[in-house]
Structure 1
Amino acid sequence: MSLQTLANVMHYVQADKGPSFWGPGDRYTFLVTGAQSGGAYFIMEATVPRDGGPPPHIHRNEEECFYVLEGQLEIRLGDRMISASTGDFVHVPRGTVHCFRNVGTAVARTLLIFSPAGLEGFFEETLERVTDPSAPQPENMEAVVARYLAVAPKYGLEFVRV
Protein backbone atom coordinates (compact mmCIF):
# COMPACT_ATOMS: atom_id res chain seq x y z
CA MET A 1 0.00 0.00 0.00
CA SER A 2 1.45 3.39 -0.93
CA LEU A 3 1.63 6.36 1.44
CA GLN A 4 -0.99 8.11 -0.70
CA THR A 5 -3.35 5.16 -0.25
CA LEU A 6 -2.64 4.95 3.48
CA ALA A 7 -3.47 8.62 3.91
CA ASN A 8 -6.90 8.03 2.37
CA VAL A 9 -7.89 5.14 4.65
CA MET A 10 -10.53 5.93 7.28
CA HIS A 11 -9.23 5.63 10.83
CA TYR A 12 -11.34 5.40 14.00
CA VAL A 13 -10.15 5.25 17.61
CA GLN A 14 -12.63 4.80 20.46
CA ALA A 15 -12.10 6.93 23.57
CA ASP A 16 -9.26 5.55 25.71
CA LYS A 17 -8.61 2.71 23.23
CA GLY A 18 -5.57 3.97 21.29
CA PRO A 19 -2.06 2.75 22.15
CA SER A 20 -1.05 4.55 25.36
CA PHE A 21 2.33 5.25 26.93
CA TRP A 22 3.49 6.54 30.31
CA GLY A 23 5.90 9.45 30.25
CA PRO A 24 7.35 11.12 33.32
CA GLY A 25 4.10 12.21 34.95
CA ASP A 26 1.91 12.14 31.85
CA ARG A 27 0.03 9.54 29.82
CA TYR A 28 0.01 9.81 26.02
CA THR A 29 -2.56 8.07 23.80
CA PHE A 30 -1.90 7.83 20.06
CA LEU A 31 -4.81 8.81 17.84
CA VAL A 32 -3.24 9.09 14.36
CA THR A 33 0.33 8.14 13.43
CA GLY A 34 2.41 8.96 10.40
CA ALA A 35 1.66 5.52 8.99
CA GLN A 36 -2.03 6.43 9.02
CA SER A 37 -1.61 10.01 7.72
CA GLY A 38 0.87 9.34 4.94
CA GLY A 39 3.55 11.03 7.05
CA ALA A 40 1.66 14.32 7.19
CA TYR A 41 0.97 14.46 10.92
CA PHE A 42 0.90 12.63 14.25
CA ILE A 43 -1.84 13.32 16.83
CA MET A 44 -2.00 12.14 20.41
CA GLU A 45 -3.90 13.00 23.55
CA ALA A 46 -1.93 13.93 26.66
CA THR A 47 -3.47 13.32 30.07
CA VAL A 48 -1.53 15.57 32.44
CA PRO A 49 -1.83 15.45 36.25
CA ARG A 50 -1.48 18.57 38.39
CA ASP A 51 2.06 19.97 37.98
CA GLY A 52 2.73 17.44 35.19
CA GLY A 53 4.26 18.20 31.81
CA PRO A 54 7.60 17.79 30.01
CA PRO A 55 10.75 19.85 30.58
CA PRO A 56 11.64 22.67 28.15
CA HIS A 57 12.59 21.32 24.73
CA ILE A 58 12.93 22.13 21.04
CA HIS A 59 11.63 20.18 18.03
CA ARG A 60 14.00 20.58 15.08
CA ASN A 61 11.81 18.59 12.66
CA GLU A 62 8.17 19.32 13.57
CA GLU A 63 5.66 22.03 14.25
CA GLU A 64 3.58 21.29 17.37
CA CYS A 65 0.06 22.39 18.22
CA PHE A 66 -1.93 22.15 21.44
CA TYR A 67 -5.71 22.05 21.64
CA VAL A 68 -6.75 22.04 25.30
CA LEU A 69 -9.65 19.64 25.83
CA GLU A 70 -10.00 20.30 29.54
CA GLY A 71 -8.05 21.90 32.32
CA GLN A 72 -5.54 24.70 32.61
CA LEU A 73 -2.05 24.58 31.09
CA GLU A 74 0.77 27.06 31.33
CA ILE A 75 2.64 26.86 28.02
CA ARG A 76 6.08 28.36 27.47
CA LEU A 77 6.78 29.63 23.95
CA GLY A 78 10.34 30.91 23.92
CA ASP A 79 10.36 33.69 26.54
CA ARG A 80 6.58 34.03 26.55
CA MET A 81 4.22 32.25 28.99
CA ILE A 82 0.66 31.53 27.87
CA SER A 83 -2.21 30.47 30.11
CA ALA A 84 -4.30 28.07 28.01
CA SER A 85 -7.60 26.60 29.16
CA THR A 86 -10.39 24.45 27.73
CA GLY A 87 -10.95 25.25 24.06
CA ASP A 88 -7.72 27.22 23.58
CA PHE A 89 -5.32 26.46 20.71
CA VAL A 90 -1.57 27.13 20.62
CA HIS A 91 0.83 26.70 17.67
CA VAL A 92 4.54 26.14 18.37
CA PRO A 93 6.79 26.74 15.33
CA ARG A 94 9.65 24.27 14.91
CA GLY A 95 12.84 25.43 16.59
CA THR A 96 10.97 27.16 19.44
CA VAL A 97 11.83 26.37 23.06
CA HIS A 98 8.61 25.26 24.71
CA CYS A 99 7.08 23.18 27.46
CA PHE A 100 3.77 22.90 29.27
CA ARG A 101 2.63 22.35 32.82
CA ASN A 102 -0.76 21.63 34.32
CA VAL A 103 -1.38 24.57 36.67
CA GLY A 104 -5.00 23.64 37.39
CA THR A 105 -6.44 21.72 40.31
CA ALA A 106 -7.55 18.72 38.23
CA VAL A 107 -6.14 16.51 35.50
CA ALA A 108 -5.77 18.33 32.17
CA ARG A 109 -6.22 16.83 28.72
CA THR A 110 -4.83 18.25 25.50
CA LEU A 111 -4.49 17.15 21.90
CA LEU A 112 -0.90 17.36 20.69
CA ILE A 113 -0.53 17.64 16.92
CA PHE A 114 2.87 17.26 15.25
CA SER A 115 3.57 17.98 11.59
CA PRO A 116 5.16 16.28 9.83
CA ALA A 117 4.82 12.92 11.54
CA GLY A 118 7.77 10.96 12.87
CA LEU A 119 8.00 11.90 16.53
CA GLU A 120 5.77 8.98 17.47
CA GLY A 121 8.88 6.80 17.10
CA PHE A 122 10.47 8.74 19.97
CA PHE A 123 7.53 8.02 22.26
CA GLU A 124 7.39 4.35 21.26
CA GLU A 125 11.13 3.98 21.82
CA THR A 126 11.39 5.76 25.16
CA LEU A 127 8.11 5.55 27.08
CA GLU A 128 6.49 2.69 29.01
CA ARG A 129 3.49 1.08 27.29
CA VAL A 130 0.25 1.29 29.29
CA THR A 131 -1.03 -2.26 29.69
CA ASP A 132 -3.78 -1.52 32.24
CA PRO A 133 -5.42 1.92 31.90
CA SER A 134 -6.75 1.72 35.46
CA ALA A 135 -3.30 1.06 36.97
CA PRO A 136 -1.19 3.91 38.35
CA GLN A 137 1.91 5.13 36.57
CA PRO A 138 4.88 2.76 36.99
CA GLU A 139 7.65 3.86 39.32
CA ASN A 140 10.56 3.44 36.87
CA MET A 141 10.34 6.93 35.37
CA GLU A 142 14.07 7.54 35.97
CA ALA A 143 14.74 4.91 33.29
CA VAL A 144 12.31 6.68 30.95
CA VAL A 145 14.09 10.01 31.48
CA ALA A 146 17.45 8.34 30.75
CA ARG A 147 16.03 6.93 27.49
CA TYR A 148 14.53 10.36 26.64
CA LEU A 149 17.92 12.00 26.84
CA ALA A 150 19.77 9.22 25.01
CA VAL A 151 17.31 8.91 22.11
CA ALA A 152 16.24 12.57 21.70
CA PRO A 153 18.95 13.59 19.15
CA LYS A 154 17.86 10.78 16.80
CA TYR A 155 14.46 12.51 16.51
CA GLY A 156 15.70 16.11 16.31
CA LEU A 157 14.57 16.72 19.88
CA GLU A 158 16.67 18.80 22.24
CA PHE A 159 16.00 19.26 25.96
CA VAL A 160 17.19 22.65 27.21
CA ARG A 161 17.51 24.71 30.38
CA VAL A 162 15.70 28.05 30.52
Structure 2
Amino acid sequence: MTQTQRGYVLADQEGQAVWFLGTLSIIKAKSEQTQQAYGLHVEIVPPGAEPPAHRHRHQDEALYVLEGEVSIRCGEQEWRGGAGTFVFLPQGVPHAFQVEGSTPLKILIITSPGGTLGFEHFVEEMGTPAETNILPAPSPPDMEKLQRLVTKYEIEFVELP
Protein backbone atom coordinates (compact mmCIF):
# COMPACT_ATOMS: atom_id res chain seq x y z
CA MET A 1 0.00 0.00 0.00
CA THR A 2 1.18 3.50 -0.73
CA GLN A 3 0.90 6.38 1.76
CA THR A 4 -2.25 7.66 0.00
CA GLN A 5 -3.94 4.28 0.41
CA ARG A 6 -3.52 4.15 4.18
CA GLY A 7 -5.68 5.85 6.72
CA TYR A 8 -4.19 7.42 9.83
CA VAL A 9 -5.20 9.32 12.93
CA LEU A 10 -3.53 12.23 14.70
CA ALA A 11 -4.43 13.58 18.15
CA ASP A 12 -4.81 17.31 18.86
CA GLN A 13 -1.10 18.14 19.19
CA GLU A 14 0.16 15.53 16.72
CA GLY A 15 1.45 16.29 13.25
CA GLN A 16 4.40 18.17 11.85
CA ALA A 17 4.78 21.26 14.06
CA VAL A 18 6.19 24.36 12.37
CA TRP A 19 6.80 27.88 13.64
CA PHE A 20 5.45 29.91 10.73
CA LEU A 21 5.46 33.71 10.66
CA GLY A 22 4.77 34.06 14.37
CA THR A 23 2.28 31.19 14.54
CA LEU A 24 2.37 27.53 15.48
CA SER A 25 1.20 25.43 12.54
CA ILE A 26 0.58 21.73 12.93
CA ILE A 27 0.38 20.05 9.54
CA LYS A 28 -2.19 17.26 9.67
CA ALA A 29 -2.40 16.27 5.98
CA LYS A 30 -0.10 17.05 3.08
CA SER A 31 -1.21 16.96 -0.53
CA GLU A 32 0.74 13.74 -1.03
CA GLN A 33 -1.45 12.07 1.60
CA THR A 34 -4.71 13.18 -0.05
CA GLN A 35 -3.93 12.29 -3.66
CA GLN A 36 -3.24 15.99 -4.28
CA ALA A 37 -6.81 16.95 -3.26
CA TYR A 38 -5.97 19.27 -0.34
CA GLY A 39 -3.62 20.17 2.48
CA LEU A 40 -4.80 20.65 6.05
CA HIS A 41 -3.18 22.23 9.07
CA VAL A 42 -4.16 23.69 12.42
CA GLU A 43 -2.76 27.13 13.11
CA ILE A 44 -2.50 28.85 16.46
CA VAL A 45 -2.22 32.61 16.02
CA PRO A 46 -1.37 35.08 18.80
CA PRO A 47 -3.84 37.76 19.95
CA GLY A 48 -3.82 40.87 17.77
CA ALA A 49 -2.03 39.18 14.87
CA GLU A 50 -3.01 40.41 11.45
CA PRO A 51 -1.30 38.69 8.52
CA PRO A 52 -1.06 40.88 5.40
CA ALA A 53 -3.87 40.83 2.87
CA HIS A 54 -3.14 38.33 0.14
CA ARG A 55 -4.68 36.05 -2.44
CA HIS A 56 -3.94 32.54 -3.59
CA ARG A 57 -3.86 32.42 -7.37
CA HIS A 58 -4.79 28.73 -7.68
CA GLN A 59 -6.18 27.52 -4.35
CA ASP A 60 -9.37 27.92 -2.38
CA GLU A 61 -8.92 28.31 1.37
CA ALA A 62 -11.37 27.23 4.05
CA LEU A 63 -11.07 28.15 7.73
CA TYR A 64 -12.86 26.60 10.68
CA VAL A 65 -12.48 28.39 14.00
CA LEU A 66 -11.76 25.97 16.84
CA GLU A 67 -11.00 28.56 19.57
CA GLY A 68 -10.83 32.34 19.84
CA GLU A 69 -12.32 35.24 17.90
CA VAL A 70 -11.44 36.53 14.45
CA SER A 71 -12.39 39.31 12.03
CA ILE A 72 -12.12 38.36 8.37
CA ARG A 73 -12.19 40.33 5.14
CA CYS A 74 -12.72 38.67 1.77
CA GLY A 75 -12.86 41.12 -1.11
CA GLU A 76 -15.48 43.66 -0.03
CA GLN A 77 -17.10 41.33 2.53
CA GLU A 78 -16.39 41.41 6.27
CA TRP A 79 -17.27 38.89 8.98
CA ARG A 80 -16.53 38.24 12.61
CA GLY A 81 -16.75 34.86 14.28
CA GLY A 82 -15.77 32.59 17.11
CA ALA A 83 -15.59 28.87 17.76
CA GLY A 84 -17.66 26.94 15.23
CA THR A 85 -17.41 29.59 12.50
CA PHE A 86 -16.65 28.34 8.98
CA VAL A 87 -15.23 30.68 6.32
CA PHE A 88 -14.70 29.97 2.62
CA LEU A 89 -12.16 32.14 0.76
CA PRO A 90 -12.21 31.54 -3.02
CA GLN A 91 -9.04 31.48 -5.06
CA GLY A 92 -8.05 34.80 -6.58
CA VAL A 93 -10.03 36.88 -4.06
CA PRO A 94 -7.97 39.07 -1.68
CA HIS A 95 -8.46 38.24 1.98
CA ALA A 96 -7.07 38.97 5.42
CA PHE A 97 -7.91 38.34 9.06
CA GLN A 98 -7.17 39.74 12.49
CA VAL A 99 -7.23 37.89 15.79
CA GLU A 100 -9.63 39.64 18.17
CA GLY A 101 -9.60 39.54 21.95
CA SER A 102 -6.87 38.52 24.36
CA THR A 103 -6.61 34.80 23.59
CA PRO A 104 -4.92 33.04 20.67
CA LEU A 105 -6.95 31.96 17.66
CA LYS A 106 -6.92 28.26 16.82
CA ILE A 107 -8.11 27.54 13.29
CA LEU A 108 -8.27 24.57 10.99
CA ILE A 109 -7.10 25.56 7.49
CA ILE A 110 -7.84 23.54 4.37
CA THR A 111 -6.37 24.57 1.02
CA SER A 112 -7.47 22.94 -2.20
CA PRO A 113 -6.37 21.72 -4.62
CA GLY A 114 -3.17 20.36 -3.19
CA GLY A 115 -0.06 19.55 -5.16
CA THR A 116 3.59 20.49 -5.12
CA LEU A 117 2.57 24.13 -4.66
CA GLY A 118 0.15 23.31 -1.84
CA PHE A 119 -0.03 25.91 0.93
CA GLU A 120 1.19 23.38 3.52
CA HIS A 121 4.47 23.22 1.60
CA PHE A 122 4.76 27.02 1.80
CA VAL A 123 4.22 26.80 5.58
CA GLU A 124 6.87 24.10 5.80
CA GLU A 125 9.42 25.94 3.67
CA MET A 126 8.87 29.40 5.17
CA GLY A 127 8.78 28.14 8.75
CA THR A 128 11.17 26.27 10.99
CA PRO A 129 10.54 23.03 12.88
CA ALA A 130 8.86 23.93 16.18
CA GLU A 131 10.94 23.06 19.21
CA THR A 132 7.77 22.81 21.31
CA ASN A 133 4.04 23.00 20.55
CA ILE A 134 3.72 26.56 21.83
CA LEU A 135 3.72 29.89 20.02
CA PRO A 136 7.19 31.06 19.01
CA ALA A 137 8.79 34.20 20.39
CA PRO A 138 7.86 37.18 18.18
CA SER A 139 10.44 37.95 15.51
CA PRO A 140 10.41 39.75 12.16
CA PRO A 141 10.14 37.56 9.06
CA ASP A 142 12.98 37.09 6.61
CA MET A 143 11.48 39.36 3.94
CA GLU A 144 13.77 38.17 1.14
CA LYS A 145 12.81 34.54 1.80
CA LEU A 146 9.12 35.46 2.15
CA GLN A 147 9.06 37.31 -1.18
CA ARG A 148 10.83 34.44 -2.93
CA LEU A 149 8.40 31.88 -1.51
CA VAL A 150 5.17 33.79 -2.14
CA THR A 151 6.29 34.04 -5.76
CA LYS A 152 7.07 30.31 -5.88
CA TYR A 153 3.73 29.35 -4.28
CA GLU A 154 1.73 31.85 -6.35
CA ILE A 155 0.53 33.95 -3.44
CA GLU A 156 0.27 37.69 -3.88
CA PHE A 157 0.25 40.40 -1.23
CA VAL A 158 -2.52 42.86 -2.14
CA GLU A 159 -4.53 45.81 -0.90
CA LEU A 160 -8.11 45.12 0.12
CA PRO A 161 -10.85 47.29 -1.39
Normalising by structure 1, report the TM-score: 0.88
**Over residues 15-58 of structure 1, what are the superposed CA-to-partner deviations in whole Å (9 max), with x where a residue is unaligned?**
21211112222211101110110110101001011111421000
- Is 1:137 paired with 2:136? yes
User: In the aligned structure 1, how far is the partner of 2:71 from the partner of 2:121?
Assistant: 26
Q: Is the 8 A contact 2:22 2:137 kept in 1?
A: no
Structure with greater contact order relative to length (CA < 8 Å, sep ≥ 6): 2
User: In the aligned structure 1, how far is the partner of 2:104 from the partner of 2:140?
Assistant: 19
User: In the aligned structure 1, how far is the partner of 2:46 from the partner of 2:104?
Assistant: 4
User: In the aligned structure 2, how far is the partner of 1:36 from the partner of 1:11?
Assistant: 10
Matches within 5 A, 1:23-38: 23-38=20-35
Partner of 1:40: 37
16, 34, 58: which one pairs with 1:19? 16
**Number of residue-to-residue matches in the alignment:** 157
Q: Is the 8 A contact 2:22 2:138 kept in 1?
A: no
Task: Name the SS for the 1:141 alignment partner.
Answer: coil
- Is 1:87 paired with 2:100? no
Partner of 2:111: 114
Gapped regions of structure 1 (runs ≥ 5): none
Q: Is the 8 A contact 2:24 2:133 kept in 1?
A: no
Distance 1:139 1:50, change over 3 A: closer
User: In the aligned structure 2, how far is the partner of 1:69 from the partner of 1:139?
Assistant: 23
CA-atom RMSD, angstroms? 1.7
Matches within 5 A, 1:32-71: 32-71=29-68
Q: Is the 8 A contact 1:25 1:53 kept in 2?
A: no
User: In the aligned structure 2, how far is the partner of 1:72 from the partner of 1:140?
Assistant: 23
139, 148, 152: which one pairs with 1:154? 152
Q: Which amino acid aligns with 1:120?
A: E
